[in-house]
Amino acid sequence: MNLRKAIEKRRSIRAFSQKEIPEKILRFCIDQARFAPSAMNKQPLEYIIVNDRKREQIFNNIVFGGQVNNKEKKPTAYIIVLSNSNINQNPDYDVGLAVQNIVLTAFSQKMGTCILGSINQKAIRSLLNIPFNFEIKLVIALGYPAEKSITQEVESSFEYYRKNNILVVPKRKLKNIIHFNSYEE
């Protein structure tokens, strides 16, 4: 798959088949994350893959997009993105770049993902025995998609919705977000 197609077609998935993800694919996703740029090459990020019985507890401590969450089609794995605060106090760019590599790699392996920031940090920290010098930045839900997701250009409402069992994700039109040489309305 070419890069443009991957970027345009990869969407957040919120309904997953219950087929297990091979460990080698999960490792491959993390391997590709480590090739992302890192500020001053400090590389503060580490990852926890959860693909065992703890999945249920992770699921109970995250929030998917409310109206499209499907509790019967839960993710079959999670990647917890951690940042070591002893190495870098502000790793947000590193996180974004690494997570993009993870989700595109997963997509290339026919998997769906959903990046989650609304999480119960305290519960997840305790469940996974995460040291306090590590900040939980994001949780990535993974699995083989049990739904189709498409984009649609819009002018106004940006709320996603389902139509004929397809998740529709509104996106602003390019002409409404691009400016050359100065801001023009």
DSSP 142-166: EE-BSSEEEEEEESS----EEETTE
CATH code for position 36: 3.40.109.10
Are 96 and 12 in a shared domain? yes
Which residues, at least 6 apart from 87, have a Cβ–Cβ distance to it below 8 Å? 42, 43, 44
| DSSP-derived secondary structure letter, 185 | -
Are 107 and 20 in a shared domain? yes
What mean pLDDT do residues 130-147 have? 96
Q: Are 143 and 17 in contact (CB under 8 A)?
A: yes
Q: Specify the DSSP element, H or E, that contains 96.
A: helix 92-108
Are 12 and 43 in a shared domain? yes
Are 108 and 161 in a shared domain? no
Instruction: Provide the domain limits for residue 117.
Output: 3-146
Average pLDDT, the chain: 90
Q: Are 30 and 79 in contact (CB under 8 A)?
A: yes
Count structural domains, the chain: 2
Are 136 and 175 in a shared domain? no
Are 106 and 151 in a shared domain? no
149 vs 52 pLDDT, higher one = 52
Take residue 48 and report the two structure tokens written for it.
Answer: 């926890």
Which residues, at least 6 apart from 12, have a Cβ–Cβ distance to it below 8 Å? 65, 112, 113, 114, 115, 149, 169
As a whole number of angstroms, the distance between CA 94 and CA 168 comes to: 29
Are 71 and 106 in a shared domain? yes
Are 36 and 14 in a shared domain? yes
Are 94 and 182 in a shared domain? no
> Model confidence at 121, in pLDDT bands (50, 70, 90)?
very high
Are 131 and 120 in a shared domain? yes
As a whole number of angstroms, the distance between CA 30 and CA 120 comes to: 23
**Of 97, 60, 59, nearest in space to 78 by CA:** 59
> Model confidence at 132, in pLDDT bands (50, 70, 90)?
very high
- Helices 92-108, 23-33: inter-axial angle, 10-degree rounding: 140
pTM of the model: 0.89
Are 37 and 102 in a shared domain? yes
Q: What is the pLDDT of residues 52-89, one digit of tens each?
A: 999 999 999 998 865 455 678 899 999 999 999 999 88
